[in-house]
Structure 1
């Protein structure tokens, strides 16, 4: 979840597996079908897994610390993003730098922006949908993480972020906890705890366990906390029984 199918969700990015030619049509809040997105992927380069990232905050040294193109390049996947600024944009640009197709669900006015816009500054208009409500973007991006069959490989990854990212993180937690994410197959949820960014949040959840408002071990069973990209990729390789990436 940015939660970059990778992906708010505020800074949500979705790396989705496609073979051959796939079209996606999205319905706007007005009920009108806006567009179909068509991507071509070479069968000789199969997608290892699809991935979702979420985060909204602006991090100046994000590229130096996390190499946003690294994930898209290693996963050989199509990327779906929140099509917004900050880490969403870093992940979008990273996927493009890796030579992978990108689509997105855009909100007219993101947090921290002074003016609203229905258009992305550089993505082709046929590759993204501008949503009026955050719920529409959440629904689309969460649905993209659903595993319809065992060979589908998806993940939700939360990057450092603010209120919108926390909203999305806890929504995903609740959906996984209540088995309402829309998939009978498990979907891995990774939280990127760069520089111990989520230390206080994790301590708060520990306090919740101590006070009895959360069952002991309940939250830990719903997500995986990773300190760096290598740890996250290793976890996904183990989750899907894949050979570790170089």
Structure 2
């Protein structure tokens, strides 16, 4: 006769044998003497992740059309790149866009700073918990701090109609190539990706053309996903034209977008 093993249902799961715990979830929850390790378990992290999504969606849902600006947190205030970030933030805000950054110093601060120079503009910072201190910059109107990079990245994409990337390091490259992958795979549509700084990005573009395209790792049409410029006005124009294309595709009147002025 087959020996029976202890069995217990735990929500949607069934556990048997040695996996059956000596106490129930309710018992462990209500016992104040238990250790606090449970708050660091994966099931509990799911709730934290869910809470971050809910908070981000709730705070950002009513933003006007927005553009995310990426770039280095290490850019000094007296640099040409910082000045470009200020001009870009102001130009985007003047065109009717909310400006979203990672909320930190450097280029992120510059873009937020330019945005708040425009009356009624919205300047947003989406921060991230890091092992070293990095507070939200003083030019953020709406700031949200995230624990998880992937939740933060979702907010960047969901509430932006384009990315503009100034010179930056590993984090900037990560955000840039994730955006390009989403566009390439049609996860997002009518979503321009603009690189500002031809001298900084030129070597990478040459490598993409010579090595990635040259060895068949990407298609020639994939090069069209990247726009390279030093001109703030051109960067904003690329965003506006993509908005117009999207509005035509979706049947939305161009006049509904304040940044899409008549030619």
TM-score by length of 1: 0.66
Take 1:92 and 1:79, find their aligned partners in 2: how far apart are those partners? 7
Tell whether 2:133 aligns with 1:104: no
Say which of 91, 112, 117 aligns to 1:92. Answer: 112
Say which of 146, 152, 155 aligns to 1:137. Answer: 152
Higher helix share: 2
- Where do 5+ consecutive residues of structure 2 fail to align? 1-46, 246-259
Matches within 5 A, 1:89-238: 89-99=109-119, 100-109=121-130, 115-116=132-133, 120=136, 122=138, 127-145=142-160, 154-181=161-188, 185-192=189-196, 194-207=197-210, 208-215=212-219, 217-238=220-241
**Kindly tell me: are residues 201 and 71 of structure 1, through their superposed partners in 2, closer, same or farther at Cα, counting changes over 3 Å?**
same
Higher strand share: 1
- Where do 5+ consecutive residues of structure 1 fail to align? 1-26, 42-46, 146-153
Structure 1 residue 195 displacement after superposition:
4.5
Take 2:116 and 2:192, find their aligned partners in 1: how far apart are those partners? 24
Give per-residue Cα distances to partners, 1:93-128, cap 9 Å, x unaligned.
111122322222111238xxxx336x535367x932
- Equivalent residue number for residue 70 of structure 2: 54
Structure 1 residue 141 displacement after superposition:
0.9
Structure 1 residue 243 displacement after superposition:
4.4
Take 2:215 and 2:194, find their aligned partners in 1: how far apart are those partners? 25
**Kindly tell me: are residues 106 and 221 of structure 1, through their superposed partners in 2, closer, same or farther at Cα, counting changes over 3 Å?**
same
The answer as to whether partners of 1:237 and 1:244 remain within 8 angstroms in 2 is: no
The answer as to whether partners of 2:124 and 2:143 remain within 8 angstroms in 1 is: yes
Using CA pairs under 8 Å that are at least 6 residues apart, name the structure with larger relative contact order, 1 or 2. Answer: 1
**Kindly tell me: are residues 132 and 98 of structure 1, through their superposed partners in 2, closer, same or farther at Cα, counting changes over 3 Å?**
same
Runs of 4+ in 1 over 4 A off after TM superposition: 32-36, 38-41, 241-245
The answer as to whether partners of 2:89 and 2:111 remain within 8 angstroms in 1 is: yes
Aligned length: 194
Which secondary structure does the structure 2 equivalent of 1:58 belong to? coil
TM-score by length of 2: 0.62
Structure 1 residue 222 displacement after superposition:
1.6
